[in-house]
Amino acid sequence: MSENLVAHTTAVNAERRSLIKNQRPTVIWLTGLSGAGKSSIANALELALCNEGRHTYLLDGDNVRLGLCHDLGFSDKDRIENIRRISEVAKLFIDAGLIVITAFISPFKRDRALAREVIGAENFVEVFIDTPLNECERRDPKGLYKKARQGLIANFTGIDSAYEPPEDPQIVINTLEDDLQTAARRIIDFINKPSR
């Protein structure tokens, strides 16, 4: 990083942007295995929030990798950089007063801890989409588990790359029990709590 950088203070700050939108900026960080249901829940959640007049933005793993992170692979080093970039983008959106929904495997505890630190713990809600590996493999919506089992994809989370479940997430969604609407409602109810 250059030593010749100085942060520029803008006339409109995060508090004012939040007041204009009449909402508390929040990052809702969905983590779980591939096929767990993160993207489906994120879409249902964003739709429900928009229907309530909330200002949102959804950062989805594949979409971000098609643009901002198109230069990254799936090595541990690249996964760490992917989450670092997403954290910084989410932090900017928090500054804009938005409710940000992220749907990323984000397999490593240290990376989720870094995301919480970058974004700010007061603005960060960790949601574990707790779907067993065998169910994710059964669903296999993109055919990725099959390819990983055949050795066609390396460093695939849950197969030959670790997934470290959150130890103390604010919300746990069990997709074998909760449908999309129930999952979305649980998250909204949580972020609406004045005491969180």
β pairing state of 124-129 and 99-103: unpaired
Pairwise CA distance, residues 171 & 183, whole Å? 10
Pairwise CA distance, residues 123 & 106, whole Å? 18
One-letter amino acid of 133:
L
Pairwise CA distance, residues 156 & 109, whole Å? 17
Pairwise CA distance, residues 195 & 141, whole Å? 38
Catalytic residue from among 34, 87, 106, 161:
106
Is residue 39 within 8 A of residue 33, CB to CB? The reply is no
| C-alpha 28, offset from chain centre | 6
Q: Is 106 a known active-site residue?
A: yes
Q: Which residues are catalytic?
A: 106
